[in-house]
Amino acid sequence: MSTSRRTLGLYGGIAIASLVAPFVFDSYISQLTVLWVMVLFAITWDAMGGQMGYNSLGNIFFFGAGMYISAVVQIGLHYDVAEYTAAYGAIKVDFTPAQYHVGLVLGTIVAALGSVALAVALSWVVFGLRGPYFAIGTLGVALAAGELVGAWEYVGAGSGISLPVFPGEPEVGERFFYFAFFIAAVLSFFFFRWLYGTRFGLAINAIRDDEEKAEAMGIRTMRYKTITWSLSAFFLGICGSLFGNYNIFIEPLEVAFATVVFGIPMVVMALLGGKGTLWGPVIGAVLYHVIKEATWKYFLGWQWVALGLLIVVTVVFFQQGIMGWAQDKWPELFGIEVEEDSAEGDREAA
Amino acid sequence: MLSNFQLLFDFPVLNIELLLNGLMIGGIFALAAYGLALVWGVMNVKNLAQGDFVIMGGYIAFVVYKELGINPLWALPVAGIVMFGFGWLLYGLVIRWVIGRDLFTSLLATFGMAIVIQQLLNLIFGPDVQTADSGLGTQLFLDSVPVQEIRVLSLAIAGILALMVILFMKNSRMGQAIRATAQDPRAAKIMGIDTDRVYAFTYSLNAAICGVAGVLISMIWVIQPFYGIGHSIRSFVIVVAAGLGNLPGVIISALGLGALEQYGGFGFGTEFQQAIVVGLLILVLIVRQIMQARHRQVVQ
Amino acid sequence: MAAMIEVRNVSKAFGGVQANRSISLDVAKGKITGLIGPNGSGKTTLFNSIVGYHPIDEGSIKFEGKEISKLRVPQIARLGMLRTFQQTRIYGKMNCIKNMLISVPHRSMGLIEIFGDHSAQELEKAEHLLEFVGLYAKRKLQAGDLSFGQQKLLEFAMALMNQPQILLLDEPTAGINPTLINGLIDRLKRANTEFGITLFVIEHNMRVIMNLAENIYCLAHSELLAEGSPETIQKDKRVIDAYLGAH
């Protein structure tokens, strides 16, 4: 079929471009790496906000939590964490490549599972809240986490933690993290793509469109909400663990639980591209990242003002997003039928 | 940190100082919270830029004090008027398109506005912590508790302003129109009330109240471009705890928040002060949820 | 015949307004039971009490012998009791097939199954039921684009898809084109006989309820006024008075 061939071509094209990009544009590799982080953010937010209708302003919490969990695991394998952080970087880590990679993999696994555990624990608190209270409550969770970690001496409080440097040439390290984020983003894309096609996907859409009706039909809404929130947390935990290692240094307010830098943009990216669609968050993330990098380059100093304005304009005037706009314009492209099926209309009773 | 709580038992007089300070700061929190409840109740807009309006008011006082070299108390009317105008401008540019949209839109749009305001303040004034000195002294209360005169004056000003707003809402034509619109915007429109103007006025009035509160904050406390979010969260804590349209509740919660914050800051250390405020927000949300879960009814 | 729902002395007030006063009734298993009464007599309130939308002030409600007056909507729904709404509630932005697939019975579903695809049988059943209510030709249209009457039929089909033991219908014929009402009565009866679903129906249209129900309860002024077969109810002076407002 031509559509499936076209889809295959699209995926293949993106895959090839993504694979060669870090070699062809190697001076832009850090921007390209962060692009995949942004894609991950938008996809995981959209599972909650776009597909299930629970607009979280605090998903960044799991990114930060994963980052810290992973850091504690990696350092803790070889050092006393409290002593290490108290020395403010005076203790230099000296890991063999094997130690580094074992620590990174182990840290990432624990970070992912730890984030899921936190999501399950928090779900009781946040899912009793509806509408604006949910958004404010999740925002509160993220802000509180930043403040508490910032006062917690064991993990270095406001001074953060220095993480081991990638063993080997810096260019190799950059490519290593580029592909790590690329793989994580691609995995999450295909995971959620599969998920939205199952009974599960339809059920969370039902929760989004009319939760009361879904409950009245006997759907266990709390179970779906907890699982979706946990899946989002799982990928964000992985992303946080990798980002901490990519950044070498982690700190609560600007890196880990960075509400203004990452937490709110997550939402804006998904809205910009079109929430509740498969490709919307991806497109939104790319667009947002390009705009962000451009303002950094051309409006330095004013970049955050420009991004704040972008948030306002997107939310107020373009909330349906690019995909939503396209869906309104060409519904038949998205499998929405507007004509009744007359050819089969008088099918005999089965 | 436990030893600090021990101090409170060893020196009971400290309690009086903390309590007084807390109540006086809480009185100012009540102003911004009342403004939030007003905008929320009348327009169904959850204004996350609330704290940034407060900080803007603070910087107006700072400019009056630093650039003009006069007592920052003169900034009270200036901040009220400037912020009223600013509120009107924001209403026309952004808020009017948000009214009637889903609940999330207003939160996110005002958060975007908050970021713009913070960053502009940061570009203009830099990230340093500032304060405006009113030049007033300190008195001893009960011969042992130091009380800054400016705090007492601020509380009095906050009280007078609150009274003025209440009388205005009760007696003026615009106040009545606002209350009518809050109850039923469609009916108000049919009765010939220009609801768009009512909304603009309500939003601007809120900005003005916040501006005045900010002037007071700048004199008794400190301001910084990024402190707005803390004040926004405080307003939300107070309003969620008190409920909409419950003025005595707003005042009591605000005073309680002020006192709790002082105690928490003293007991755990000031680095936890922000965490305490956010923690309280989560706490009031949970309590609200438990209260509602008792009913068989679906939680709304 | 055994009672599927037993309502005993249920009272419910909203503020000072007494909506139900000490109401007792039985819904017989496997039958169609009707609930009539003038506007404001407390029919929908009683429905809401049974399916768990609000707490009751006093009394007991049993479903298959189990006390349910403290349970909430989702728990009651999972026991196999479903209701449709006076104002229909369907998923307007999804097509009819998806509306049907959402309605597969979730109560029996395990953790693994919720990640599965919809089976061919489910799809077959969804199409079959859409055909049963006469919406097969519109199965791929957005449910929100259907007429009010068609949405009502869709909601009915969704309820059947859920395979409930009992279905509480709040005015199923209100807003439906009068020429289609006979067809609907026929379908309700077939849902009862062919799918074995007990029905409890609020209805305003006297002709419909007299044709449909085997046993009818009449509420007036928040109280139970009369009970009996359609013939008895039709002849009951108190019922006629209540509808004509003679007092």
How confident is the model over A117-132, as pLDDT tens digits? 999 999 988 888 877 7
Tens digits of per-residue pLDDT, C42-77?
888 998 899 888 888 889 999 998 899 888 888 888
Residue A316 near chain C (CB below 8 Å): no
H helix or E strand, kind and range, residue B170: helix B149-171
Domain C1-80+166-247 has CATH 3.40.50.300: yes
Tell me how far apart the alpha carbons of residues C35 and C11 are, in angstroms, rounded to a whole number. Answer: 17
What pLDDT score does C1 carry?
55
On the question of pLDDT at A232 being above 80, the answer is yes
On the question of pLDDT at A112 being above 60, the answer is yes
CB pairs under 8 A between A and B: 123
What's the CA dihedral at A294, A298, A302, A304 to 10 degrees?
A: 10
% of residues, chain C, pLDDT over 90:
23
% of residues, chain A, pLDDT over 90:
50
What pLDDT score does B247 carry?
82
Chain C positions touching B297 (Cβ under 8 A) are 53-55
Chain C partners (3+ C-beta pairs within 8 A): A, B
What pLDDT score does C109 carry?
78
Residue A215 near chain C (CB below 8 Å): yes
Chain A positions touching C98 (Cβ under 8 A) are 202
What pLDDT score does B83 carry?
96
- Closest to A219 (Cβ–Cβ): which among C89, C94, C106? C106
User: How far is A279 from chain B, CA to nearest CA, in Å?
Assistant: 22
**Mutation target vs A (from C72, C136, C168; most A CBs, 10 A cutoff):** C136
CB contact under 8 A, C73 and A341: no
Tens digits of per-residue pLDDT, C196-231?
899 999 988 888 888 889 999 998 888 888 888 888
On the question of pLDDT at A95 being above 90, the answer is no
Segment A326-333 mean pLDDT? 82
How sure is the predictor about A271, in pLDDT bands with cuts at 50, 70 and 90?
A: very high
Distance of CA A318 to the CA centre of its chain: 21
Chain A positions touching B104 (Cβ under 8 A) are 55, 131-132, 135
Chain A positions touching B236 (Cβ under 8 A) are 136
Q: Is residue B273 part of a domain?
A: yes
Place of tokens 């089909």: C157
Tell me how far apart the alpha carbons of residues B80 and A170 are, in angstroms, rounded to a whole number. Answer: 56
Per-residue b or e along C223-247, where b marks 16 or more CB atoms closer than 10 Å to that residue's CB: bbbbbeebeebeebeebeebeeeee
CB contact under 8 A, C82 and A218: yes
CB contact under 8 A, B298 and A212: yes
User: How far is A193 from chain C, CA to nearest CA, in Å?
Assistant: 12
Contact yes or no for A130/A210 (Cβ under 8 A): no
What pLDDT score does A345 carry?
40
User: How far is B285 from chain A, CA to nearest CA, in Å?
Assistant: 7
What pLDDT score does A349 carry?
35
Chain B positions touching C50 (Cβ under 8 A) are none
Q: Is residue B242 part of a domain?
A: yes
CB contact under 8 A, A311 and B94: no
**Mutation target vs B (from C14, C67, C72, C89; most B CBs, 10 A cutoff):** C72
- Number of domain units in chain B: 1
What pLDDT score does A341 carry?
56
**Mutation target vs A (from B91, B285, B291, B297; most A CBs, 10 A cutoff):** B285
CB contact under 8 A, C124 and A220: no
Tell me how far apart the alpha carbons of residues B224 and B58 are, in angstroms, rounded to a whole number. Answer: 9
On the question of pLDDT at A333 being above 80, the answer is no
| Cα nearest neighbour of A304 on chain B | B119
CB contact under 8 A, C139 and A341: yes
Segment A249-271 mean pLDDT? 90
Interfacial residues of C (vs A; Cβ cutoff 8 Å): 51, 73-74, 77-78, 82-83, 89-95, 98, 101-107, 109, 113-118, 124, 127-128, 131, 136-142, 145, 158, 162
What pLDDT score does B277 carry?
87
**Mutation target vs A (from C99, C100, C140, C162; most A CBs, 10 A cutoff):** C140
User: How far is C73 from chain B, CA to nearest CA, in Å?
Assistant: 8
Those residues with Cβ within 8 angstroms of residue C241's Cβ, 6 or more apart along the chain or in another chain: C247
- Closest to A209 (Cβ–Cβ): which among C93, C104, C113? C93
How sure is the predictor about A340, in pLDDT bands with cuts at 50, 70 and 90?
A: low
What pLDDT score does A339 carry?
66
What pLDDT score does A343 carry?
44
% of residues, chain A, pLDDT over 70:
95
Domain with B157, as residue range(s), is 2-293
CB contact under 8 A, C55 and B298: no
What pLDDT score does B32 carry?
93
Tell me how far apart the alpha carbons of residues A133 and C83 are, in angstroms, rounded to a whole number. Answer: 29
Residues 58-117 of chain C with CB under 8 A from chain B are 70, 72-73
CB contact under 8 A, A128 and B299: yes
What does each of the 247 residues of chain C score in pLDDT, given as a tens digit?
A: 578 999 999 999 888 888 888 999 999 998 999 998 888 888 889 988 998 888 888 899 999 988 998 888 888 888 999 988 878 889 988 999 999 999 888 777 777 888 888 888 889 999 999 999 888 888 888 888 888 888 888 999 999 998 899 999 988 888 788 888 888 888 899 999 988 899 999 988 888 888 889 999 998 888 888 888 888 888 888 888 887 665 4
Q: Is residue B298 part of a domain?
A: no
- Closest to A340 (Cβ–Cβ): which among C73, C105, C141? C141
User: How far is C12 from chain B, CA to nearest CA, in Å?
Assistant: 13
Tell me how far apart the alpha carbons of residues C189 and C117 are, in angstroms, rounded to a whole number. Answer: 32
User: How far is C71 from chain B, CA to nearest CA, in Å?
Assistant: 7
CB contact under 8 A, B288 and A133: yes
On the question of pLDDT at A310 being above 60, the answer is yes
Chain A positions touching C104 (Cβ under 8 A) are 199
Chain C positions touching A205 (Cβ under 8 A) are 91, 94, 102
Segment A34-40 mean pLDDT? 95
- Closest to A304 (Cβ–Cβ): which among B106, B119, B285? B119
Report domain extents, chain C.
1-80+166-247, 89-106+118-163
CB contact under 8 A, C77 and A216: yes
What pLDDT score does C245 carry?
62
Those residues with Cβ within 8 angstroms of residue C56's Cβ, 6 or more apart along the chain or in another chain: C10, C11, C12, C20, C49, C69
CB contact under 8 A, C53 and B298: yes
CB contact under 8 A, A209 and C104: no
Task: Give me the residues of chain B with pLDDT under 70, please.
Answer: 1-3, 293-300
Chain B positions touching C55 (Cβ under 8 A) are 295-297
CB contact under 8 A, A260 and B115: yes
φ and ψ of A47, to 5 deg: -55, -40
Q: Is residue B300 part of a domain?
A: no
Contact yes or no for B95/B121 (Cβ under 8 A): no
CB contact under 8 A, C53 and B295: no
Q: For chain A, give the secondary structure using H, E and C.
A: CHHHHHHHHHHHHHHHHHHHHHHHCHHHHHHHHHHHHHHHHHHHHHHHHHHCCCCCCCCHHHHHHHHHHHHHHHHHCCCCHHHHHHCCCCCCCCCCHHHHHHHHHHHHHHHHHHHHHHHHHHHHHHCCCCHHHHHHHHHHHHHHHHHHHCCCHHHCHHHCEECCCCCCCHHHHHHHHHHHHHHHHHHHHHHHHHHHCCHHHHHHHHHHHCHHHHHHCCCCHHHHHHHHHHHHHHHHHHHHHHHHHHHCEECHHHHHCCHHHHHHHHHHHHHHHCCCCCCHHHHHHHHHHHHHHHHHHHCCCCHHHHHHHHHHHHHHHCCCHHHHHHHHHCHHHHCCECCCCCCCCCCCCC
Beta partners for residue C60, in sequence order: C8
Is ipTM over 0.90? Answer: no
User: How far is C52 from chain B, CA to nearest CA, in Å?
Assistant: 7
CB contact under 8 A, C78 and A200: no
What pLDDT score does A141 carry?
92
